[in-house]
Amino acid sequence: MSVSAAPPREAPPGRLAGRWVPWLVIGLWLALAAVMVPLSGKLSSVTTDSAVDTLPASAESTKVAVLEDSLPGGDDNTFVFVYHRAGGMTDVDRATVERHYNTLAKRYPPKVAAAGEDDEGPPTRLSTDGKAMMFTLDVSTTYGAPEAIVGPLRDAAKDRPIGLELDVTGPAAIDGDMDAVFDGIDLQVFLTTVVVVTLLLILTYRSPVLWFIPLVVVGAAALTAMATVYLLVKGFGIVVNDQNSALLTILVFGVGTDYALLLIARYRETLRHHENVRVAMVHALRGAAPAIVASAATVVAGLLCLLVADLNSTSGLGPIGAAGILCALVAMLTLFPAVLVVLGRRIFWPAIPRFSTTVQEKPGLWGRLGTAISRRRWVATLGSLGVLGVLAIGLAGNTGALREQDQFLSAPESVTGFTVLRQHFPELGGQPMTIFTRPAYQERVLDIVKGTHGVALAVPGQTSGGWADISVFPTDAPDTVAEYDTIKRVRTAVHAVSGAEAIVGGPSAENLDTEVTTSRDEKLVIPLVLAVVLIILGLLLRAIVAPLVLMATVIVSFAAAFGGSVFVFDTILGFKGIDYSVPLLAFLFLVALGVDYNIFLASRAREETVRLGTREGMLKALSATGGVITSAGVVLAATFAVLATLPLVMLIEVGFLVAFGVLLDALLVRSVLVPALTLLIGRRIWWPSRLSRPTVEPPGGQQSLAVDEEPAR
């Protein structure tokens, strides 16, 4: 059944509808592009993945990393060459290993030992089972970064007898293989995201032209965001790593496209009520902009909460992501409307919206869904909560921390090499700890460390810059609970030496500190994000009950998304844990982005409630926004799913979890649970605003507006 509806009375458009306004906006953006586009290409030049820039700012291992970089030879890259033959090393094999070492030592001269430093014996070592040999090579960073060195090192050792296997491993080799994964990731993510968004926009609009406009504008926003982040790095010294750079692209394209979809849907509505496209756009902006701005403010505020985090890479994501969201917001509320107005109604061809004094509103899929929910409110509420509860059971699965060696989707040589090293050289099978102490206390600290449970070997190093270093090899495998316990015992032991000022670092110590710091950051950031988002919702909806209900649904949705994802990671994909950074990032994105759809729905429901009452207002809002919010959710989920195409477990986990959570929010929470709860609570959902009262007398003595949750019968 169709219903004839007259357009509501609206304020005049004012000067914003002038002919010159769209052209002025486009001109300003062209001038901005001339400045920002060249700067956007420089972002990769300030992207870093050094340990100091990503580790916790106050951690002990960070202090060790800073010392290593500042002392002579401390910035060397350490590679471990492990040769092995199943039947035992032959004389020819041993000669080959010696030859390889001599060749590489000449090509990459080792650091000169400090005066008085003990000779640690021959550089090559034969395993006790006679099946493997190994040597360590320290290569100065003057020869290049780990990813640039590891390839030539492996090529230089290819000349060896048949059957003699070689694995080049060690901290620098793992770093090199990790960096290789991120090599070109920005371009890959950018191009893949563009393709995904393009296909979804074409399917959404089924227009040969319309899809191109939001894509171009979002692309302009992304380039502007990259340039802005580059300026932030230069001006304020924030940290940008490859992971955060990739997330910046995903965020801008995801939220930018969402804003475009919401504005186009509102613009299409107003074109049926206004003959002048400029006037129609002004009214569309008045209707859609508050929700879009509130959405952006929620995400920006949530991201800026990361500034309180101690982990440098996490705190750096805050201003980076916030800059991206703000650039997307400004572009979609200025450049995008201007381009649409200049192109006119024909941009919607072949389904061009026509102006009419009366508009026929037909109950579509979302209208019928709203009616069904209204009739079965308890069924819809309990059914939705039941689905979310079942998914949350997955949290009982493997949520342990993911080891560094398990980060790769396909284990590279550096990871398999650690397994071989531990098999044949159990005393060297763990990642070495590095201890710095004052030279006068080196022997005392060394003796204490050797007597610490879990330590297999402790070797004194060089003395320089007022510090002496000690290399410590634990007996347990890297990044295990047992190894972490050994690191804690060593720290406790050396800290007790008064005056030594001993500090303990190294790769595993860095991972331990990062895990501990992330746990601390979660306890600080998560409540802060919840409080900030709740305040923004309260200001937008001018109520207390509605924001609390919306936040509760988002939290339940996050638990369900996390539980369902853990089940997939553990049972289907076979991952060996959850990366330490995933829970906080996923929570931030799902709360800040997931609440967006509730904002779009609730703000429209509040707008319609003023005219129609709570029940009819929610049903009208669901009918009007159902299609566009679903499309926006699919687009945002698809952009995050791009991360799941990369060969790194951490990015796959973030991409899948956020994409799954966004779909849950858009398709179940916003579509069924929130409308059902609103209809159950009725007008009290808007308490304590005037909309929670049975009737409202608007200002100016106009006719009173009914806001009862049930229509008069």
In the chain, count H helices and then E strands. 23, 12
Q: Which residues contact 183 (CB under 8 A, 6 or more apart)?
A: 147
605 and 621 Cβ atoms separated by less than 8 Å: yes
| Residue 182 clears pLDDT 90, i.e. is over it | no
Query: Is the CATH number 1.10.760.10 carried by domain 11-58+184-360?
Result: no
pLDDT in tens, 229-284: 999 888 887 878 777 887 888 889 888 888 888 888 888 888 888 788 888 888 88
> What residue spans define the domains of the chain?
11-58+184-360, 366-396+519-713
pTM for the full predicted model: 0.79
In this structure, is the dihedral angle defined by the CA atoms of residues 480, 481, 487 and 489, taken in order, positive or negative?
negative
| Residue 15 clears pLDDT 60, i.e. is over it | no
Q: For domain 366-396+519-713, give the CATH number.
A: 1.20.1640.10
> What is the spatial distance between Cα 438 and Cα 470, in angstroms, rounded to a whole number?
11
pLDDT in tens, 523-567: 899 999 889 888 888 888 888 998 899 889 988 999 999 999 999
Q: How large is the average pLDDT for residues 608-627?
A: 85
> Could you write out the DSSP letters of every residue in 659-697?
HHHHHHIIIIIIIIIHHHHHHHHGGGGGTTSGGGSSEE-
**Which range among 72-81, 342-351, 402-411, 537-546 has the greatest average pLDDT?**
537-546
> What is the spatial distance between Cα 673 and Cα 665, in angstroms, rounded to a whole number?
9
268-278 burial: b if 16+ Cβ within 10 Å, else e: bbbbbbbeebb
β-strand 359-361 against 3-5: which pairing, if any?
Answer: antiparallel
Q: Which residues contact 490 (CB under 8 A, 6 or more apart)?
A: 433, 435, 449, 452, 454, 455, 472, 504
Query: What is the predicted pLDDT for the residue at 118?
Result: 43
pLDDT in tens, 304-338: 998 888 888 788 888 999 999 999 999 999 999 99
**CA distances (Å), origin 75, targets 51, 69, 138, 179, 479:** 11, 5, 9, 17, 23
